[in-house]
Amino acid sequence: MKKIRQALISVSNKNKLEKILKILKKFKIKIISSGGTFNQIKKLGYETKEISKFTNSSEILEGRVKTLHPKVHAGILNKRNNKNHKKQMRLFKYENIDLVIVNFYPFEKTLAKTKNSKTIIENIDIGGPTLARAAAKNFNDVTVITNIEQYNELVDELWKNKGSTSLLFRQKLSEEAFSLTAYYDSTITNFFTKKRKNYFPKRKLVYGNLIEKLRYGENPHQEAAIYSYEKSLDIIQLHGKKLSYNNYNDLYSALNISKTLPKNLGTVIVKHGNPCGVSIHNDKVKSFKNALACDPVSAFGGIISCNYKIDKKLALELNKLFFEIIIANGYDKSAIKILKEKKNVRLIDATNLKIKNFYEFISNFNSFMFQSSNNKIFTKSDVKIVSKRKPNKQILNNLIFAFNVCRNVKSNAIVLSKNNTTVGIGSGQPSRIDSCRIAINKMNKFQNLNKNDEIVAASDAFFPFIDGIEKLIQSGVSAIIQPSGSIRDKEIIKFANQTNTILVFSNTRHFKH
């Protein structure tokens, strides 16, 4: 146990300060404070000594230097049981500081509020993290509080131990302090790398806030948690059981597609990270039924993401089937009431989630790969018509729709589509022609097509040989979109022209592993 006799308080966030002041007064703990904290403590009616009086050195440089002083840091860092340290403390007439309560300038909040570089720079805290690191290093003798949420813990600890703290308690707070300073520095580093557009610096810092610990990972023997760069996720769970690791994977896979569809249009059904049905239609119920018809067997127990608000009529349809998760841009009150009849279904409001340029990474064997996201919104300017036969507006839009879905399907990926609705999806095969076969088989199994239907196909990468395209054309496909770049592109174009097939090349490839 270590008795606390003197505390240093320097906080940017002054909420709940009185909770701490009461307990410090109870155990006759002296208080040193700085600037605005000093004024607030006095205002609340408690005794405190201003930092400038303690150090006999005025705050300078508009408050940039106030706690950065040998008397302060010696008071924190000296080893209480070290004879040499004791001797030096007596020589310089320095006093021990046993408790440091500090929180940092709100750098992240400042970034969210302004793009003014001068304001942002002035909200980089120097003194606060320095105090926290010093106290955390000397946890054997010093207690450090870096978060308002720790106030209750400190109060309980001091009551329980009559003004002292245990080593175990100080070690825990030390870990949390170093974690916070590392996080804080990471956000600052990220600001500078973004400013310079240096997305791949020599040292890559990945940081995040714990959202929640998950029951387990992909499998029950694996541990898992979800973190966010923000303090919370941009999605809100309105109902149902907690989300699992696999739920989050599928949820974001579905949102990656639905958020790239036209505003207030589009239904996506996902199973095990792959779409099994996607449709754009003005009629919400029709959109859902079209997406479901692509592969109703795989859709069972899947996740549905609606890029619009769910109304009562659609809710009644959704309740007829089993979905793990339903995602929407809001719900009518009547829809919520209907969907909540199923106790375990998770209802997610993704209204606030927007498509952004973000980065993703994958980690293996103590290394990780980092890349920019693949969420570009496709337009006609991103493709080139290379066949003699030209698509009309409807077919071209259908091709772009299929290609957009295709880039979210595990490679090798083939998507068949009719009227902005998927009718067959082949995914995750080592051979592209095998993906063609799967997509065709799905289409033949679940669709009632006639000869006049315009079926289009999208491939996430180029066809290396004509066998894949030949297979698609034989199944009734009349238009194909694929990335260019093969040494056999000319052969593919020639074959398309020989079979009177529309062929469109994309400027970009879209593998998804």
Which residues are designated catalytic?
137, 272
How buried is 294 (Cβ within 10 angstroms: 0-12 exposed, 13-18 middle, 19+ buried)? buried
Q: CB–CB of 417/425 below 8 Å? A: no
> For residue 411, which of 218, 273, 250 has the smallest C-alpha distance?
273
Q: Which two tokens stand for residue 104?
A: 């940092």
- Measured CA to CA, the distance from residue 92 to residue 77 in angstroms comes to 14
Q: Find all residues with CB under 8 Å of 336, minimum gap 6, and list them.
A: 238, 239, 315, 347
The position carrying tokens 């994309």 is 506
- Measured CA to CA, the distance from residue 110 to residue 119 in angstroms comes to 8
> For residue 364, which of 513, 255, 230 has the smallest C-alpha distance?
513
Q: CB–CB of 206/227 below 8 Å? A: no
> For residue 238, which of 326, 134, 109, 140 has the smallest C-alpha distance?
326
Q: CB–CB of 9/72 below 8 Å? A: no
- Measured CA to CA, the distance from residue 284 to residue 64 in angstroms comes to 58
Q: Which two tokens stand for residue 217?
A: 């990972």
How buried is 481 (Cβ within 10 angstroms: 0-12 exposed, 13-18 middle, 19+ buried)? buried
Using CA atoms, how far residue 335 sits from 24, 129, 313, 330, 340, in Å, is 53, 49, 8, 10, 8
Q: CB–CB of 383/400 below 8 Å? A: yes
